[in-house]
Amino acid sequence: MEQKRMLIGGEWVEAGSGEWSDNLNPHSGEVICQVPSATVEDVDRAVEAAHKAYYETWREIHPADRAKLMFKLADAIDECADDIARMETADMGKPYNQSSGDVPATADIFRFYAGIADKIEGECLVTPAKTFGYTLHEPFGVVASITPWNFPVVMIGMKGAPALAAGNCTIFKPASSSPSTALELGRLATEVGFPPGVVQVITGEGGAMGSRLAGHPLVGKVTFTGSTAVGRKILEASINNIAKVTLELGGKTANIVLPDADMDMAVAAAARTIFLNCGQICTAGSRLLLHESIKDEFLAKLIPLAESLKVGDPFDEATKLGPISSKQQYDTVLSYIDTGKSEGATLLTGGSGPDDPALAHGFYVSPTIFGDVTADMTIAQEEIFGPVLSVTTFKDEDEAVEIANGTDYGLAAALWTRDVSAVHNLAARLEAGIVWVNCTNIFGPWMPYGGYKVSGLGFEAGIEGLKEFTRVKTVLIDTTDTPTTWPTE
């Protein structure tokens, strides 16, 4: 059994406790490797190493030289792209044909932020007479990056690239079910010359260790992507230290189709947004809101399309849906399917895994569509994070907005129409951090996003996302040589 060590202070180490966690392949159900189960003492070691690296080395390195290291890391990721994609697929079941797109995308995220690393500028302020003032955007020092299992390698880029570009040291804590690619990027960062302690990776179960990382007094910034429930715990943990926190949390995206929409485009996108990555995307269009006049025609196209998507071995090139990422998440998805049935929704297709003996040991769920879903049902309110679509109809735009905004989440929405007035009216009224129009799930490092309501705090990506990794210092200089007077004098 392969045992992968974690990266602390430039060394590949075991957990202080000597404990290991199993990493399962969700296709075969077999343990593929073990990683150290880090303890709070290991977290302390990593944070102290990052703190030391920041004050002794990293903050003295010119931003242009930081950028060069980041460009080298991007090239190294591209050179090992195939190995990284295979690790990702074996770890979390994403079809290889999708993982192999995630890896170059991650390299490009590092390039995007490397290009900005030496352009992070403050401002000259308009100050009172005989004074001069300016702002600086300074790093926090130590950043904790806690990431989920749905896009493991991309998440390392989305958090690590802006954190490093802004001049921070960063400690990655990947999800315990998908640690391999974070460790691999740690290895590449070391190889291309990042000083010890600047990039570190600790592994094992979130819980106590994750809370320590989020609440450690030497951590200045916590960036977290994951569920809203754990996001709340991160906020609690950060209270003592008043660490600055960015949270990218859950979603329940409404995908709204007006009667004048291009139906073929909208049908293809409705399937892709919920079944890509097995629905394990925070912005997956899990609620399809159809105008009542087009429901029957739309579903007559969508259901056969969903049934045609190949569910199977993630290393098969034809596969569109691999297994659900872990046994725990698989059980969660099946339990929501049961709830949908018991609350009166109509199961239109799917509901269980394919009847294929080759997949018997994996965590497979076929594309699942529920009709007759009312806005108050559990499957219309809670994030399932699996290939389960709920379909609800509306009679007019007001009702579409009411349903779309009627959950606690506010991460994203999508809208299908050619009516430019409807686009502007609805985009303004939708309570969501992203509104896609005639498209869905387009992302890139160029595009800032952040959840409304319980979907998040702060921003990821874009220049807004970079600013999250800096703190603003104002410097004000009295240019006279006269003593300051009291206000009353």
Number of shown-chain residues binding ligand NAP (CB under 6 A)? 32
Q: What's the token pair of residue 237?
A: 């943990």
Please say which residue, 67 or 365, places its beta carbon nearer to ligand NAP. 365
Nearest approach, Cβ of residue 151 and ligand NAP (Å): 6
Q: Which is nearer to ligand NAP, 89 or 178 (CB)?
A: 178
For CA atoms 479, 484, 488, 489, the dihedral sign is negative
157 touches ligand NAP by CB under 6 A: no
Of the candidates 88, 184, 248, 468, the residue annotated as catalytic is 248
Using the rule CB under 6 A, is 383 a contact of ligand NAP?
Answer: yes
For the CB of residue 285, give the shortest distance to ligand NAP in the complex, in Å.
13
Give residue for tokens 């509104």: 435
Is 282 part of the annotated catalytic residue set?
yes
Rule CB under 6 A: say whether 27 interacts with ligand NAP.
Answer: no
**Should residue 171 be labelled a site residue for ligand NAP when binding is judged by CB under 6 A?**
no
CB of 456 to ligand NAP, least distance (A): 6
- Count other C-beta atoms under 10 Å from residue 316's C-beta: 14
Question: Of 45, 173, 287, 320, which one interacts with ligand NAP (CB under 6 A)?
Answer: 173
What is the 8-class DSSP label of residue 311?
B
User: Strand 11-13's sheet: what is its strand order?
Assistant: 11-13, 6-8, 199-201, 169-173, 142-146, 221-225, 244-248, 456-457
User: Catalytic: 278?
Assistant: no
Backbone angles phi, psi at 478, to 5 degrees: -85, 120
Candidates 88, 248, 313, 468: give the one binding ligand NAP (CB under 6 A): 248
- Euclidean distance between CA atoms 10 and 19, whole angstroms: 20
225 binds ligand NAP (CB under 6 A): yes
What's the token pair of residue 6? 């974690």
Q: Which of 93, 139, 157, 251 binds ligand NAP (CB under 6 A)?
A: 251
Residue 157 and residue 84 in contact, taking contact as beta carbons nearer than 8 Å = no
Q: Please report whether residue 350 would count as binding ligand NAP according to CB under 6 A.
A: no
Closer of 301 and 327 to ligand NAP (Cβ): 327
Q: Answer yes or no whether residue 210 interacts with ligand NAP by CB under 6 A.
A: yes
Q: Where are the alpha helices (DSSP H) in 216-351?
A: 228-238, 263-275, 295-308, 327-342
Site for ligand NAP in 396-425 (CB under 6 A): 411
Is the C-alpha dihedral spanning 332, 337, 341, 343 positive or negative? positive
Among 84, 103, 175, 243, binds ligand NAP (CB under 6 A): 175
Cβ-contact 119, 388 below 8 angstroms: no
Closest C-alpha among 55, 38, 58 to residue 46: 38
Closest approach of ligand NAP to the CB of residue 64, in Å: 30
Q: What residues numbered 445-464 form the site for ligand NAP, per CB under 6 A?
A: 451, 456, 460
∠ CA 245-200-150 to the nearest 5 degrees? 65
CA–centroid distance for 33 within its chain? 24
Whichever of 166 and 222 has its CB closer to ligand NAP, that residue is 222
Nearest approach in angstroms of CB 249 to ligand NAP is 5
Specify whether the CB–CB gap between 367 and 275 falls below 8 A: yes
CA distance 81 to 69: 18
Catalytic positions:
248, 282
Residues that bind ligand NAP (CB under 6 A): 146-150, 173, 175-177, 205-207, 210-211, 214, 225-227, 230, 233-234, 248-251, 282, 383, 385, 411, 451, 456, 460
